[in-house]
Amino acid sequence: MISAKTVAELREKTGAGMMSCKEALEASSGDMEKAVEYLRKKGMASAQKRAAKTVKSGVVYAYLHMEGTVGAMVEVNCETDFVAKTDDFKELAKDIAMQIAAMNPLYVKREDVPAELLEKERAIYREEVAKSGKPANIIDKIVEGKLEKFYKDFCLVDQTYIKDDKIQVKDLVALKIGKIGENITIKRFARFKIGE
């Protein structure tokens, strides 16, 4: 039997609904970590189903940090105006704006990175690794690994989420899609810092 306290703890940790938390805990025999993973997978599945839905509503959220020395503005879209007005959706927009202010991404997703820049990065990494004398197939794997790190550093959705280092920003969005039941996308953002 899963206690209400355990369900509440999982809800606090993930932001998922009570019934979803109860279902996740039952499916994972009360194991909190497995329940979190269960909710993440459920959110991802829901996100994939909803990906084709048009997002024509949303919010522009502005966040100021450190007494106004760093600020971020982000446009987050959803399917309906009703969802755009909910606290859950606004909280997501705030969390994403905080992520931008703290982690300074350059692009929303990896598809936004210009091809010329990727080629330039690949060339730099290849030159670095070639000096090690490793075989070509190993060099290619190392270069691709370094590119993955580039994406994690500079692409917002690939970054580790600042409030939970076990997930990426795209996982956070997928969890909200699973909870809210609408497609959600991050359209664009801007970040400002005094002196930059």
- The fold of the 4-50 domain, in CATH, is Helicase, Ruva Protein; domain 3 (1.10.8)
Q: Indicate the class that CATH gives domain 57-108+155-193.
A: alpha beta
Residue 96 structure tokens = 């994403």
Q: What is the CATH number of domain 114-153?
A: 1.10.286.20
pLDDT of residue 38 exceeding 70, the answer is yes
pLDDT of residue 132 exceeding 70, the answer is yes
Domain definitions of the chain by residue range: 4-50, 57-108+155-193, 114-153
Q: What is the pLDDT of residues 2-29, one digit of tens each?
A: 888 888 888 777 766 777 788 888 888 8
